[in-house]
């Protein structure tokens, strides 16, 4: 009898899994077990924790510059993924890192601004990070993890009041590994998807998509010490550049149209960076 019940439970669970499979913007099928409301709340928990732990950049010019680039990209997102508000924080940390979280939160580490040498290169990073969120990669990753003990613990902790350990795990699963010492990078296919979508996003805003290639070349040169989001043994900078080049004709068309419509972001990079 018990065995039979287990069988029924497994069958029902598999139905849930099938029902929860959604198609990503580029047509990949991915598991989405959580509501966007739940994801937004987890994003908010992680973001708050981040702001508590990492000092914020005080320089007004640096903040204005980053907000200008992020604002231009977010204002030009396609209607299906547009949201009214994105909160941007520049962290005063010499780390080549950036992230975007469900709920509309973006973090840029000051160290990234040394590798992303121009506003267009910074826009390439911003587009890529936002694309992870619009393509619901955090939900997919969390859903995959949910089937493991770690995922169950995380969700339990989240539902049970977001205790310290739980929110650390949530952060790790959302892609904020550097804060917790657990590396859970996005998968290769998620990275490729974020590269392609991100390229479109920056181009729509009037940033030159060709700068994304320069960005990854700089990233390759900057070598070691790369934190989770960019600690990409997969894909290598080389294969990223190939993916970007494959999408470049479409992106250049979006870029051309944006400029025709006078979308020409004027974000001046502070001299001291």
| Residue 171 vs 194, nearer CB to Zn ion | 194
- Catalytic residue from among 53, 57, 117, 129: 129
Shortest CB 229 distance to Zn ion, Å: 5
Are 60 and 25 in contact by the 8 Å Cβ rule? The answer is no
Q: Which is nearer to Zn ion, 175 or 206 (CB)?
A: 175
Give the span between the Cα atoms of 123 and 125, in whole angstroms.
Answer: 5
Closest Cα partner for 244 from 190, 194, 205, 189?
194
Q: What whole-number distance in Å separates Cα of residue 127 and Cα of residue 100?
A: 10
Report d(CA 91, CA 223) in Å as an integer.
Answer: 21
**C-alpha–C-alpha distance, residues 48 and 45, integer Å:** 5
Rounded Cα distance between 270 and 206, Å, is 20
Residue 164 beta carbon to Zn ion: minimum distance, rounded to whole angstroms:
27
Task: Name the helix (H) or strand (E) containing 5.
Answer: helix 2-19
Token digits of residue 184: 């859970």
Strands lying side by side in the sheet with 98-101 = 87-91, 105-109, 98-101
Shortest Å, Cβ 228 to Zn ion: 9
Residues in touch with Zn ion (CB under 5 A): 191, 194
Where does the chain show beta strands of DSSP type E? 21-23, 29-31, 87-91, 98-101, 105-109
Tell me whether residue 129 is one of the annotated catalytic residues. yes
Q: How far is the CB of 93 from Zn ion (least distance, A)?
A: 19
Shortest Cβ contact with Zn ion: which residue?
Answer: 194
Provide, rounded to whole angstroms, the least separation between the CB of residue 26 and Zn ion: 14
Catalytic residues: 129
């Amino acid at each position: 009898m018990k065995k039979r019940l287990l069988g029924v439970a497994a069958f029902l669970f598999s139905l849930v899994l099938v029902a929860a499979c959604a198609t990503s913007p580029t047509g990949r099928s991915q598991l989405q077990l959580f509501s966007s409301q739940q994801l937004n709340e987890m994003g908010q928990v992680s973001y708050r924790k981040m702001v508590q732990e990492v000092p914020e950049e005080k320089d007004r010019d640096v903040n204005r510059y980053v907000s200008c680039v992020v604002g231009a990209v977010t204002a030009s997102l396609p209607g299906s993924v547009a949201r009214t508000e994105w909160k941007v924080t520049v962290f005063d940390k010499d780390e080549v890192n950036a992230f975007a979280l469900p709920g509309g939160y973006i973090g840029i580490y000051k160290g990234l601004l040394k590798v992303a040498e121009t506003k267009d290169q910074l826009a390439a990073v911003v587009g890529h990070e936002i694309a992870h969120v619009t393509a619901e990669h955090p939900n997919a990753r969390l859903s995959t993890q949910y089937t493991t003990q770690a995922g169950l613990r995380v969700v339990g902790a989240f539902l049970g009041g977001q205790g310290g350990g739980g929110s650390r795990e949530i952060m790790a699963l959302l892609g904020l590994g550097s804060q917790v010492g657990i590396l859970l990078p996005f998968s290769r296919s998620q990275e490729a998807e974020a590269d392609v979508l991100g390229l479109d996003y920056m181009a729509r805003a009037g940033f030159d998509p060709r700068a994304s290639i320069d960005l990854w070349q700089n990233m390759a040169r900057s070598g070691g010490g790369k934190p989770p989001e960019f600690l990409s043994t997969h894909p290598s900078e080389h294969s990223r550049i190939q993916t970007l080049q494959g999408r470049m004709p479409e992106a250049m068309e979006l870029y051309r149209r944006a400029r025709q419509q006078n979308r020409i972001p004027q974000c001046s990079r502070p001299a001291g960076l």
